[in-house]
Amino acid sequence: MQAITASVDSPAAPAPATSAPASPSLQSKEAAADPADRLADALYALLVCVHKNCTADLFEAMGELELTMTQTKLLQKLDHAQREVTVKAAAQLLGVSLPAASRAVDDLVRRDMIARHEDSQDRRMKRIRLTGTGEAMIRRVNAARLSGVRQFAHTLGQEDAAALLKALGPLLERPDLAACRPEGDPNE
């Protein structure tokens, strides 16, 4: 917690006087005068560290499952969708072209990870949803993500881990965050 606390509690150091513009990180520290901005900077550093150091398991799982990043994102989006979506809507959610989304959908349909059918109102539109196989793939990808985060958590000392867990407690009561807890979490 010392590194996290230090970056949140200590005032930003003034930028050295030079004729060159300040680096983005210095500009960010200067702009982070209010606690929310300082917290955002600290969370950013934490997320980048976790992401950089804990993605090996995730990428290994994606490789074993032979999933592209687009396919993984599509499965995740469908897992969080409240209803079936059209292929066009999936392309928009992913930020990819319709042909790219169609290729991802075709492969996932072939592998029984998603189901596709014609819209009952407009036969030109195709609707997609996760299948049981797709849900199992998402669980495997999420388990790999959790494994990496657990590896990071084990690098923290017991005091730091306990302090961070205590600080996160009230946030994890928010419905949007509580919904993201891992399956089988005893705090659910």
Structure confidence at residue 179 (pLDDT): 83
Kind of pairing between the strands at 114-118 and 85-86: unpaired
* Domain locations along the chain: 68-135
What pLDDT is recorded for position 177?
86
Per-residue pLDDT at 187: 54
User: Residue 110: what pLDDT?
Assistant: 96
List residues bridging with 117 in a β-sheet.
127
**Local confidence pLDDT in tens for the 188 residues of the chain:** 444 444 344 344 444 444 445 555 555 555 557 888 998 998 899 888 888 877 777 788 888 888 888 999 999 999 988 889 999 999 999 999 999 999 999 999 999 999 999 988 888 889 999 999 999 998 888 888 888 888 889 999 999 999 999 999 998 899 988 888 887 665 54
- Tokens 């657990």: give the residue: 150
Q: How many CA atoms lie within 13 A of 155 on its CB side?
A: 10
pLDDT at position 24 is 59
Q: For the purposes of burial, counting CB atoms within 10 Å of the CB of 70, is it exposed (0-12), middle (13-18) or buried (19 or more)? A: buried
**Alpha carbon distance 12, 177 (integer Å):** 30
130 and 75 Cβ atoms separated by less than 8 Å = yes
The helix (H) or strand (E) run that includes residue 129 is: strand 126-130
Task: Identify the DSSP state of 86.
Answer: E
Per-residue confidence (pLDDT) for residue 15, from 0 to 100: 42
**Residue 120 · residue 84 · CB < 8 Å:** no
CATH of 68-135, one of 3.30.70.2970, 3.40.50.300, 3.30.930.10, 1.10.10.10: 1.10.10.10
Distance of CA 133 to the CA centre of its chain: 21
